[in-house]
Each structure stands twice: as C-alpha cells, then as structure tokens.
Amino acid sequence: MGKQTPVNKHIEIIIVGAGPSGLLLGILLAKQGVKVQILEAAGELDKNPRAAHYAPSAVYELNRAGVLEDVKAQGIHPDAVCWRHPDGTFIAGIRSRFDIDFPMVCLPLDQLDIILLQHFLAQPGTEVLWNHKVVSIDQDENEARVHVETAEGNKTFGADYIVGCDGANSQIRRSLFGDLNYPGETLQKQIIATNVYYDFHKFGYWDSNFIIDENDWYMAARITQDGLWRVTYGDVWGLSNEEYLARQPERYEKILPGNPKPGDYKLVSASPYKLHQRCADSFRVGRFLLVADAAHLCNPFGGLGLTGGIADVGTLFDAFMALKEGKADDSILDKYSEVRRKKWAEIIDPMSRANFRRVCLDEAESERKEFWDLCKKVEEDEELARQMAQGTNVLREDFREYLTAGAA
C-alpha cells in the first residue's frame, strides 16, 4: 500500500476482539468521532485470572481514555513489592511512590474489562457484535475485510482499517503470517495462576511478593480491596491442565506461608498457562494492524504484557489521529509497527525475561546481587525511587516528530 491519504476525516475502523486492548482503543477512537465497531468471538467478556497490575505508562492511557477514575475507585494502589526466600525471609523491596503523575494501579482484568465495555458503549454509534468469530481476511487498495462466523451464518465486514486485538491466538495474525508463524519461544516452565482469599498480610507479607526458589517460586499479590490475592506459582513441566489443577492443594500446602489446607482458604479461580516470548514480524500488513497479545507476548512476571499492549494502543491511536487530521500519510502506520516492535525487543522482552529469571533463580548470583543492591539504593535515594517508579514510561512514544512538517 503506502497510498497517500492526506486528510481522511471519515476513517472507519473495525477492531477484532473485545479484550482490554480492543476496548481501550475503541474508546479512544470513538471519543474522537471515528466510526468504530468491535467484533468478538465469545458471547461475553473473558473471566480468566490474568492481568491485574498496570504500570504508570498504562495508567497514562487509561487516563487519556477517561476511565481512570472508575478504575481507581474499584482498584487498589499496591503499597510495595518485595522479594523473599521460601521461608518468608525478606531479601529486598521497593515501596510504591504516590508522588508521580500516574502511580501503578491494580484491578483484576475481568473488572477492568467491564469498565472499558461500559465506557465504549457509552460513546454514540459504537457497538460490540458478540458471537462474531473472524475466520479469514482479505484486502485490496480500498478496504480491508474480515469473514466472520455468526449464529445467523457467515458474514463479511469491511472497513478502512482492521485492527487485530484478538489475543495470543490471533486469527488476524495467523491469516497474515501463517498459523505457526509467531517468532520467539515458549519457556519450558509451567505456571498456574490462581485467585484466592487467604490473608498473606498476617504472615508479614507486603502487597506484592516474589518468592524466589529453583522449584517453589511464586508470586503472591493482593489484587482487590476486599482481600483477594493472586498467587501464581510454578509446577513441574509436562502435565495436563487437569493434572495441574488436581495438584493445586498440595502445591499451596507446600509453598504458601502457614502451609494451608483447602479449608484454610477460599479458592476463586485457577488456570494453568504456558509462558511465551514472541513478537510478530510486523504489526502492519496493508490495512491490517496488530496490537497487544496478537502482536507480542511475554511472561507475566513484572506485569509487562498488557502494559506493553496498552502502550501499543496509545501509539496506534496517535497514528490514526495523525492520519485522520491530515498530519501524516499512512506510512505513519509503518512507523507504528517499527516503533512498537523496537520497544518489545529492547525493553519488554529483556525486562520480562530478567524478572522471571530472578524469581526462579535462573540467573547468575552476581546479577541477583546487583538487583538487591539497586533496591537498597532506591530506598535511600528519593529521585532514583521516583525514576524507577516511572520506568515503564519509556514504553510510550512521542509521535510528534513523525508528523508532516508544519502540521505538528
């Protein structure tokens, strides 16, 4: 393509996937008068225990979309994060900073999605078409199209641009690059993410805790106002999902403080996950764009998955706005792809790998010691602490330099 589109005031966009990235992009665009429609394969929002922590760069975009006050009202600001030995002994920690513009916020993804859906549907002319599963795609120089299975039969939808926000198994990405073409690797470690009512504070735990060990590593983090905790722990490689879920009581009893038996806690949900570090070859092919999990994946230690995805949303929104307002031609969408892939390769992938290696002791002791020393420095140096707290802002991109001369 690369076709010049000087002013495109009436661009129409289809978003595939009513997950957090699709809904957030939908809100931002609809608020600027872009006609946007979301197609969703499922009949309702996803309820699995996944993201909960959103770093300052993501909070910035939640604020831009006008949803932050609702997220803050329902969520929490975790007080601190720390690392411990399996017996609970404290190693190092970092207190949260609340004297920065957009402190980290925590809210389970299913609750965030409800807020995002309400805000999206509150914009005039928006709609989510549920039970609309995209099965194939095509495009020409005028339009992108998706072919969709619905209860009423197969349908085709077309728009100026179609954005794949359809998650890790993205049909848009598969159609563009092939079913098995998602470059990267699957880490040979198994996690089970659980949501549970169990009072870790009573054992002296902080709001977020990483327990480091070769085998019995886990994360325990308070994620709601009413005391729900996310416990994500590791297990042996190679079992079926049923086997992992059956082993949950014995794993909890072995690794959690107080060695609790099933009657001692209230388990709300549990899901085994594989860990992937992957990035698509391009986030743009003609009139199709990829965003968030459809475009890149990382392990969840350090909460960079959706935080990275939300940074994509912010950048793509800026690119679409520049296009709509005649401040850029559609090569700005190539820039979107270039910038976001670079952020993944240079920041998200290495940082998330380092976070995970620290937890499961898959790194040199010197590397670990360097990090504990850094935590100590942060404790004593206010300015460094503020900088650390805002570290993920490097994921954002200022698009002004790419706009047409004069238009910026």
Ligand X SMILES: Cc1cc2nc3c(=O)[nH]c(=O)nc-3n(C[C@H](O)[C@H](O)[C@H](O)COP(=O)(O)OP(=O)(O)OC[C@H]3O[C@@H](n4cnc5c(N)ncnc54)[C@H](O)[C@@H]3O)c2cc1C
Q: Which residues bind ligand X (CB under 6 A)?
A: 16-22, 39-42, 46, 50-54, 109, 133-134, 165-167, 171, 193, 232, 273, 292-294, 300, 303, 305-307, 309
- Residue 290 near residue 284 (C-beta atoms within 8 A): yes
Q: Is 150 exposed, middle or buried (0-12, 13-18, 19+ CB in 10 A)?
A: middle
The DSSP bridge pattern shows strands 35-39 and 12-16 to be parallel
Closer to ligand X at the Cβ: 224 or 232? 232
Decide whether 26 or 286 has the Cβ nearer to ligand X: 26
- Closest distance between ligand X and the C-beta of residue 86, in Å? 21
The one-letter amino acid at 132: H
Closest CB to ligand X among residues 34, 52: 52
Residue nearest to ligand X (CB): 19
The nearest distance, CB 88 to ligand X, in angstroms, is 23
* Crossing angle between the packed helical segments 365-380 and 349-359, to the nearest 10 degrees: 100
For 249, the token pair is 């009581």
Q: Which residues contact 57 (CB under 8 A, 6 or more apart)?
A: 102, 307, 310, 311, 392, 393, 394, 395, 396
Nearer to ligand X by Cβ, of 286 and 300: the residue is 300
Could you give the 3-state DSSP secondary structure of residue 48? coil
Residue 92 or 304: the one with the smaller Cβ distance to ligand X is 304
Q: How far is the CB of 105 from ligand X (least distance, A)?
A: 11
Q: What's 406's DSSP letter?
A: T
Rounded to whole angstroms, the maximal C-alpha distance in the chain is 67
Closer residue to ligand X, CB minimum distance, 149 or 329: 149
257 vs 305, which CB is nearer to ligand X?
305
Question: 3-state DSSP call for residue 276?
Answer: strand
- Nearest residue (CB) to ligand X, 280 versus 294: 294
Rounded distance between C-alpha atoms, residue 270 and residue 48, angstroms: 8
Helix (H) or strand (E) holding 332: helix 332-343
Query: Residue 123 or residue 269: which is nearer to ligand X going by CB?
Result: 269
Of 109 and 389, which has the nearer Cβ to ligand X?
109
We find the least distance from the C-beta atom of residue 356 to ligand X, in angstroms, to be 12
Q: How many angstroms separate the CA atoms of 340 and 254, rounded?
A: 41
Q: Return d(Cα 54, Cα 305) in angstroms, integer.
A: 9
Name the minimum Å distance from CB 83 to ligand X: 17
Give the Å distances, CA to CA, from 208 to 81, 106, 146, 194: 5, 11, 42, 15
CB of 54 to ligand X, least distance (A): 6
In sequence order, what are the residues at sequence separation of 6 or more whose Cβ sits closer than 8 angstroms to the Cβ of residue 142?
none
Please, what is the minimum distance in Å from the beta carbon of residue 254 to ligand X? 20
Rg (CA), the chain: 22
> Do residues 312 and 22 make contact, with C-beta atoms less than 8 angstroms apart?
no
Cα(186)–Cα(268) distance, integer angstroms: 27
As measured in angstroms, the least distance from the Cβ of 392 to ligand X is 9
Q: Is 401 buried (19+), middle (13-18) or exposed (0-12) by CB count in 10 A? A: exposed
